[in-house]
Each structure stands twice: as C-alpha cells, then as structure tokens.
C-alpha cells in the first residue's frame, strides 16, 4: 500500500466510532482486473453499486504465500494508476470450483451483462492468463476465491486521478 492509499484508508478509519476495533482485520489496496480499461471500469462499477463481488484464483494465494481474505477485511480499491477510489469491506468469502460459480454470484460481480454465460467466458480468459503465468493448467475444476463486499467509504471525485 503506497502513501496515498494508506492516507485514504486512514481517513476512512478516522470516521469510525472510537469503540470500533480494527483488530484482526487485514488491509490491502489495489485494482481489480489485469488491464487499464477493465481495472478502471471495475472501479466505476463498484462506485455505481453494480459490482459487489470479485473472484480470484486460489492457486495465486497459495503460490504467493498469502492468506485468504476474510469477512471484515478492508480493501482500498484503486484505479489502474493506483489512485484510491473507495474502501470496501469484505462481507463474505467462499471457495468453489470455476464450474460451480452461480448465476447469483455472476450478477453480484456486476460485469458485462451480469449473466453466468458472460461471466464464464470473460473469467475463463482472465483465469487462463493467470494460470499460464503461474505455470498451472486451467480447468473448470480450478479453485476460486469468491469475495462479496460493500463500499464503506466512497470518494465522489475518485476518478480524477489526483492521488490524494
């Protein structure tokens, strides 16, 4: 997390009641997706309330030695350039196989037309690229991490790239 992202998170944390605890929560920052156009689109969809979930490849966590996200964790969503857009709080985390992702989850992810067919096609391409970068063979059985979240700290002027 860079200084701008950390300052943005700290501004959010300062809005919480003194009795609120951040103990046990993980904090992270970054964009969703793997390219400029889609990362900025995802940030916009989150701000608009259309994107309320994300998915990632379980093997990516394993290979990087990272803990899985958990309910209550906070994530500073950024645009592609790393500028803070909003803070989301994880509301649920589940693991499932690619083939078992549901229509309801695809709709929560809020991308494309919201259908499971669109989700499967777009995410197959995305996860295939990630699998190849990890030296893993993609399959419909590959394990995913499905996160649902809610925006807890929006930044109205978020897409103006002012880093602050």
In whole angstroms, what is the distance from residue 141 CA to residue 144 CA?
9
pLDDT, tens only, 85-144? 999 999 999 999 999 999 999 999 999 999 999 999 999 999 999 999 999 999 999 999
Q: Sort strands 84-97 and 53-57 into parallel, antiparallel or unpaired.
A: unpaired
The residues facing 153 across adjacent strands are: 87
Write down the pTM of the prediction.
0.88
Percentage, residues of the chain above pLDDT 70: 94
pLDDT of 34 reads 82
HSE toward the beta carbon, residue 117, CA cutoff 13 A: 1
pLDDT at 162 over 50: no
In whole angstroms, what is the distance from residue 164 CA to residue 143 CA?
36
pLDDT at 163 over 90: no
Q: Sort strands 27-30 and 53-57 into parallel, antiparallel or unpaired.
A: unpaired
In whole angstroms, what is the distance from residue 152 CA to residue 138 CA?
34
pLDDT, tens only, 45-69? 999 999 999 999 999 999 999 999 9
- Strand runs (DSSP E) across the chain, as ranges? 27-30, 53-57, 74-78, 84-97, 143-154
Q: Are 75 and 149 in contact (CB under 8 A)?
A: yes
Burial class (CB in 10 A: 0-12, 13-18, 19+), 135: exposed
Provide the pLDDT confidence category of residue 155 given band limits of 50, 70 and 90. low
In whole angstroms, what is the distance from residue 153 CA to residue 164 CA?
14
The domains of the chain, with CATH numbers, are 3-13+26-160 (3.10.400.10)
pLDDT, tens only, 37-48? 999 999 999 999
């Amino acid at each position: 997390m860079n200084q701008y992202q950390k300052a943005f998170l700290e501004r959010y944390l300062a809005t919480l009641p003194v009795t609120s605890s951040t103990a046990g929560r993980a904090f992270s920052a970054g964009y969703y997706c793997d390219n400029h156009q889609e990362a900025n689109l995802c940030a916009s969809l989150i701000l608009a309330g259309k994107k309320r979930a994300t998915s990632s490849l379980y093997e990516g966590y394993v290979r990087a030695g990272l803990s899985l996200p958990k309910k209550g964790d906070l994530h500073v969503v950024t645009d592609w350039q790393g500028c803070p857009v909003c803070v989301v709080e994880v509301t649920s985390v589940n693991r499932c196989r690619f083939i078992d992702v549901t229509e309801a989850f695809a709709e929560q992810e809020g991308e494309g037309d919201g259908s499971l067919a669109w989700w499967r096609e777009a995410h197959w391409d995305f996860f295939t690229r990630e699998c190849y970068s990890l030296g893993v063979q993609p399959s419909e059985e590959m394990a995913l991490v499905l996160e649902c979240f809610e925006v807890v700290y929006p930044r109205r002027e978020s897409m103006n790239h002012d880093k602050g």
